[in-house]
Chain A
Amino acid sequence: GAGVSQSPSNKVTEKGKDVELRCDPISGHTALYWYRQSLGQGLEFLIYFQGNSAPDKSGLPSDRFSAERTGGSVSTLTIQRTQQEDSAVYLCASSRSGNTQYFGPGTRLTVL
């Protein structure tokens, strides 16, 4: 596709359940990023992939959060045992290494 795609666009879950968020980067982009946007915290960096490896995971807020990337393409962000404070919009971006990051439409996560 022409841009970064994310699925689902909306996810409502119950507290304590696990969720998986998916990101499909722009074809040929080797770098992939996850950010979170919430009312109180603004836009926060979560994790960065270069190829399939994650040299920077320092933004993940707790060990309930994990992410992987396979084939240098699709990435999945997993949140285990979701809490209400995990409610946010999760944004994915991709770039050619070191260049401008292009963002997807985001996944709005609501934890009840």
Chain B
Amino acid sequence: AQKVTQAQTEISVVEKEDVTLDCVYETRDTTYYLFWYKQPPSGELVFLIRRNSFDEQNEISGRYSWNFQKSTSSFNFTITASQVVDSAVYFCALNAEWETSGSRLTFGEGTQLTVNP
């Protein structure tokens, strides 16, 4: 069965610090998709990124970057020069094992990031 682990329940940083959110996943499939979503206090889940298992290139989007390493089954997310508006719960999710799990997303428990001014 597929599983996603976000070991960091809460992280608190001061504005302008860099912060990395960890995500470790488990699946027996060789083809799968990984996602990060942001959930601000308003509650809506906002899509940030989708990666497939065959593309291990790191990705950068502005202050956000993602490090995908199949060897360690990790898909970590780094925010550079954090800002107060980055405060939110961040979820890592996996879509795999379609024969048994269909198209569902399996989510980690989420990491609450607080950026203090």
Q: Count of chain B residues with Cβ under 8 Å from any Cβ of A?
A: 20
CB of B86 within 8 A of chain A?
Answer: no
Provide the bound-state CA to CA distance between A106 and B47, in Å.
15
A residues 46-67 touching B (CB-CB < 8 Å): 48, 50, 55-56, 58-59
Which partner residue on chain A sits nearest B46 by CB separation?
Answer: A103
Interface string of A89-105 (1 = CB under 8 A from B): 10101010110111111
Provide the bound-state CA to CA distance between A85 and B42, in Å.
23
| Most chain B beta carbons < 10 A, residue from A31, A50, A102 | A102
Answer whether A48 and B104 are a contact pair too, CB < 8 Å, given A42-B110, A43-B91, A100-B50.
yes
- Interface SS majority for chain B: loop
Answer whether A103 and B110 are a contact pair too, CB < 8 Å, given A31-B103, A45-B104, A55-B102.
no
| Most chain A beta carbons < 10 A, residue from B35, B44, B45, B47 | B45
By the criterion CB–CB under 8 Å, are A102 and B47 in contact? yes
B residues 74-116 touching A (CB-CB < 8 Å): 91, 101-110
Q: How far is the CB of A35 from chain B (nearest CB, A)?
A: 8
> Which residues from chain A contact B47 at a C-beta distance below 8 Å?
100-103
> Which residues from chain A contact B50 at a C-beta distance below 8 Å?
100
> Which residues from chain B contact A50 at a C-beta distance below 8 Å?
103
By the criterion CB–CB under 8 Å, are B37 and A103 in contact? yes
> Which residues from chain B contact A33 at a C-beta distance below 8 Å?
103-105
Provide the bound-state CA to CA distance between A52 and B47, in Å.
25
| Residues of chain B having any CB pair with chain A under 8 Å | 35, 37, 42-47, 50, 91, 101-110
Please provide the 8 A-B residue pairs with the shortest distance between their CB atoms, ordered closest to farther: A56-B102, A103-B45, A45-B104, A43-B107, A105-B44, A100-B50, A42-B109, A48-B102
| Residues of chain A having any CB pair with chain B under 8 Å | 31, 33, 35, 42-43, 45, 48, 50, 55-56, 58-59, 89, 91, 93, 95, 97-98, 100-106, 108
